[in-house]
Amino acid sequence: MHGLDTYFWAHSRAGMFTAELTYLMLSGSILVVEDYRWRSIWRWKGLQSVRIFLWQALHDRLKTKSELARCHIPILEACDRCGALIEDTLHVLRDCVAVKTFWLKVVPLEKRQSFFSSNLSTWLCGNVDDVSRSHNISNWSIFFGIGVWRIWFWRNQFVFNQNSMDPMALLVDVSFRAEEMSKIHSHCLVTGRLKIDKWIRWHPPEWPSCTLNTDGAHKANGVSTAGGLIRNFSGRWITGFGLMLGSCSVTMAELRGTYKGIILAWNFGIRRLHVETDSLCATQIEANSAADFMANLACSLPRGLMVYPSPPLGVISLILYTLSGLRLLARLFFSS
């Protein structure tokens, strides 16, 4: 920057000191509160794209029916999903019947009154700032940010593609993404390592082979699960499975998941099979996100094996990345 250094009054957008602004600031003005709100969004520890989404939501500028009507676009303001008279930002992200079921599964009983009654800015900033542990959620701030972002995604899926959202699938989807984000954040804090974005993709096998991706998951309550999927040389879904194991180590869960996957492949008549897992014992690093998702989905299953002839809703987007030739973005860590 060129030019001389100069004084700048922090409580004015133009940097000019005035008695009026100083009075408003000292008496608990809106300006100070607004500055705090923006800061809480930009401090959020997650993807930049989600941070920008949260910023837009805080400005009340998501293109909801209410916002489109405000912009003089001739459109009915009613919610397409539940029929409420006005679909505004708070309705889409929190109050819609289709969404409330999801929040009720994760918001503790003692916090529900304030959670469901606060205004938009208090609701967004208060939850974005809340890094406490809640239920089995290790970082509520990250979970909440990812949650509202995915809720908006699924709202658009319904409006434009008529794909409805299952609250349990949404819960798994958000939990999976938030857990990954929390791990990345914790890893950075502990190791102080540099983060470098690197594209990693899942590679389909050569014809006529198929690939089995498996993974295990271990939850804070001691329960372990496994899951996996089998795809052919073009990346198409052959079958998938989830396995609720109860109490066992994550290594045992991954081994049992791999075993079940191989049996399943054999029963499907598959005789040439590649097996991929992101276990520490594995020799290859692969984009195993779909298998991670299947393992986490098994947390909602009764004990035993569940076979999925077609892909569950939440895993479709992960598989589509591969089918469309796009690559999954992963973050690798290198010593600084």
Q: Applying CB under 5 A, which residues contact Zn ion?
A: 79, 81-82, 84, 96
CA angle 97, 99, 101 (to 5 degrees): 80
Q: How would you class 23 by CB atoms within 10 Å of its CB: exposed for 0-12, middle for 13-18, buried for 19 or more?
A: exposed
Q: What is the DSSP string of 237-264?
A: EEEEEEEEEEE--HHHHHHHHHHHHHHH
Q: How far is the CB of 93 from Zn ion (least distance, A)?
A: 11
Comparison of 96 and 226: residue with beta carbon closer to Zn ion: 96
Q: How far is the CB of 101 from Zn ion (least distance, A)?
A: 12
Comparison of 96 and 270: residue with beta carbon closer to Zn ion: 96
Cα 172–chain centre separation: 9
Q: How many helices (H) and strands (E) does the chain have?
A: 13, 7
Q: How far is the CB of 81 from Zn ion (least distance, A)?
A: 4
Who contacts 163 (Cβ-Cβ below 8 Å, separation ≥6)? 154, 157, 313
Comparison of 47 and 82: residue with beta carbon closer to Zn ion: 82
Cis amide leading into 311 (omega within 30):
no
Comparison of 12 and 101: residue with beta carbon closer to Zn ion: 101
Q: How far is the CB of 130 from Zn ion (least distance, A)?
A: 25
Q: How far is the CB of 137 from Zn ion (least distance, A)?
A: 25
Comparison of 82 and 301: residue with beta carbon closer to Zn ion: 82
Of the CA atoms within 13 Å of residue 273, those in its CB half-sphere come to 21
Comparison of 81 and 150: residue with beta carbon closer to Zn ion: 81
Q: How far is the CB of 67 from Zn ion (least distance, A)?
A: 15
Q: Which two tokens stand for residue 296?
A: 């986490």
Phi/psi of residue 100, nearest 5 degrees: -60, -35
Instruction: Report the alpha-carbon distance of residue 141 to residue 128 in Å, rounded.
Output: 5
Q: How far is the CB of 99 from Zn ion (least distance, A)?
A: 7
Instruction: Report the alpha-carbon distance of residue 208 to residue 160 in Å, rounded.
Output: 37
Indicate the angle between helix axes 120-128 and 48-58, nearest 10 degrees.
150
Instruction: Report the alpha-carbon distance of residue 313 to residue 300 in Å, rounded.
Output: 14
Comparison of 79 and 270: residue with beta carbon closer to Zn ion: 79
